[in-house]
Amino acid sequence: MSSLNLHWCSLRLFPLVLPLVSCENRPATSPISKMKCSNEGIGRHFNRYGPQAQMNVHLKGRDLLTLQNYTADELKYLLWMAADLKQRIKCKGEYLPLMQGKSLAMIFEKRSTRTRLSAETGTSEHWHSQILYEMAYCEVLSSMTNAILARVHKHNDLHLMKKQATIPIINGLSDLHHPLQILADYLTLQEHYGGLNGLTITWIGDGNNVLHSIMTSAAKLGIHLRIATPKGFEPDLKITKITEQFSSEYGTKLLLTTDPLEAADGANVLVTDTWISMGQEEEKKERLKAFQGYQITMQTAKSAASNWTFLHCLPRKPEEVDDEVFYSPRSLVFQEAENRKWTIMVRKEDSSS
C-alpha cells in the first residue's frame, strides 16, 4: 500500500469533549422539556410503506457515502427500521443484541459531537464494541472489524477508502454530503407528520453538504423542495442537475431562489444550518455579510404552512435562527438530534448483517 493511499486511512482522532452547557436561560417552552417517549406517532406510518418483509431491499455490505444511489424503497426501509428500533428499545425497553460479536471502526478527521455520541451510544448498547483509530490501514481495519464510519474533510477520501476496504464504509460527514443527518431529519418528520409524501421542505442558508443530502433524496420520498441561498453560495451545480432530474422523475416541485421569504411560502418545514462550517473560519466576515436577511424568524414563518416546523442539525448560532423560533414548540431540533442515534444504528446493522 503506497504512502499516498495510507493517508486516506490515517486520519486525525479528536477526543470527545462535551462542553458544559447551562440550561438556566432556556425558555420554559423549550422543546427539550417536551421530549418524551410515546407510541403515538412512532410507527403509525409503517402500513403506508408496507411491512418490512414485503420490501425488496438488500443492503448487506452496502456503503453509505451518499443518499443519491439509494432507491425510494431503500430509504423507506431504513426509516421503517429506525422507527421500529426506537419504539422497541426506547419505548418498550426491549434488549436487542442486534450485532453481538461485531465491531465498528470509527475514524474522525474532523471533530464531532452528535455523530460520535450517537455512534458510540448506539454501538456500545447493541454491538460488541466500537474502536477509534488515529492511524490504520483500511485493509487492516477490514480484517478485524465489520464496518468503518469515517468523518472526513474531502468526499473523495471516502471513495479511496471504499476501494481499499472490503467492509462497508459509512459517511459520518464529508464536504459534499451528510447522509446520516438527513436520515435523522426524515425520521423526525415522519414521527411528527405521520409521513413524508407531499411535505414541502424549505432550506434557507448555505448550499452545503447537509443541503446536498436533502437534494439527492427528497424527491424519492415525495417531498417538494424550496431552496434559498445567497448569490455565490448556491449548492453544487452537478448535484443541482441531479436534483432536477429526480424532481422530474418523481413528480415533485423544486424551487431555487435567493429570496428567503419566497422560499418559505407554503413550507411545512423550515431548515437551516451553520453559515460557517469547519474550515471556513477565515471566511466568517464575508459570510456574515452575504447571509444578512437569511436568519429564520417568526416573520419568515408567516408565509409558511399553518403546521410548519423547524429543523437545525446543530450547533446553532443566533444569527442563523432567533431564540423565538429555536426554542418554540415548532422546533424539533432536540428530537432531531436524538434520532441520529436510531438512524445510525439501523445503517450499521444493515451494512453488516
Q: Taking residues 132-155, report their average pLDDT.
A: 84
For residue 103, what pLDDT band results from cuts at 50, 70 and 90? confident
For residue 18, what pLDDT band results from cuts at 50, 70 and 90? very low
Say if residue 33's pLDDT is above 70: no
3-state SS, one letter per residue, for the chain: CCHHHHHHCCCCCCCCCCCCCCCCCCCCCCHHHCCCCCCCCCCCCHHHHCCHHHCCCCCCCCCECCCCCCCHHHHHHHHHHHHHHHHHHHHCCCCCCCEEEEEEEEEECCCCCHHHHHHHHHHHHHEEEEEECCCCCHHHHHHHCCEEEEECCCHHHHHHHHHHCCCCEEEEECCCCCHHHHHHHHHHHHHHHCCCCCCEEEEECCCCHHHHHHHCCHHHHCCEEEEECCCCCCCCHHHHHHHHHHHHHHCCCEEEECCHHHHHCCCCEEEECCCCCCCCHHHHHHHHHHCCCCCECHHHHCCCCCCCEEEECCCCCCCCECHHHHCCCCECHHHHHHHHHHHHHHHHHHHHC
**48-85: per-residue pLDDT in tens?**
434 454 467 888 899 999 999 999 999 999 999 999 99
Sign of CA dihedral 212, 14, 118, 151: positive
Q: Could you tell me if 273 and 251 are in contact, meaning their C-beta atoms sit under 8 angstroms apart? A: no
Maximum average pLDDT range among 7-16, 18-27, 211-220: 211-220
- For residue 15, count CB atoms less than 10 angstroms from its CB and return exposed for 0-12, middle for 13-18, buried for 19 or more: exposed
* Mean of pLDDT over the chain: 83
For residue 1, what pLDDT band results from cuts at 50, 70 and 90? very low
More confident residue, 240 or 92: 240
pLDDT at position 213: 98
Q: Taking residues 293-303, report their average pLDDT.
A: 98
Q: Taking residues 308-325, report their average pLDDT.
A: 96
Per CATH, which fold does 3-14+60-178+341-352 belong to? Rossmann fold (3.40.50)
Q: Could you tell me if 331 and 309 are in contact, meaning their C-beta atoms sit under 8 angstroms apart? A: yes
More confident residue, 234 or 117: 234
Say if residue 12's pLDDT is above 80: no
175 Cβ contact list (under 8 Å, min separation 6): 153, 154, 155, 209
**240-265: per-residue pLDDT in tens?**
999 999 999 999 999 999 999 999 99
C-alpha cell of 107?
475514524
pLDDT at position 13: 42
pLDDT at position 229: 98
Please give the model's pTM, rounded to 2 decimal places. Answer: 0.86
C-alpha cell of 275?
453559515
pLDDT at position 329: 97
Q: How many residues can be counted in the chain?
A: 353
Say if residue 31's pLDDT is above 60: no
pLDDT at position 137: 81
CATH node for 179-336: 3.40.50.1370
Sheet holding 99-108, edge to edge: 127-132, 99-108, 147-151, 169-173
Range with the poorest average pLDDT among 13-17, 286-290, 307-311, 319-323? 13-17
101 backbone φψ class: left, alpha, beta (φ>0; ψ -120 to 50): left
CATH 3.40.50.1370 residue ranges of the chain are 3-14+60-178+341-352, 179-336
Is 9 labeled as catalytic in the residue annotation?
no
CA distance 10 to 108: 10
Nearest partner of 333 among 23, 97, 34, 65, judged by Cα: 34
For residue 106, what pLDDT band results from cuts at 50, 70 and 90? confident
Distances from the Cα of 64 to the Cαs of 74, 168, 258, 295, 307, in angstroms? 12, 8, 31, 32, 32
CA distance 84 to 91: 10
**266-296: per-residue pLDDT in tens?**
999 999 999 987 667 778 899 999 999 999 9
pLDDT at position 194: 96
**125-139: per-residue pLDDT in tens?**
655 555 566 556 888
CA distance 207 to 209: 7
Q: Taking residues 148-175, report their average pLDDT.
A: 94
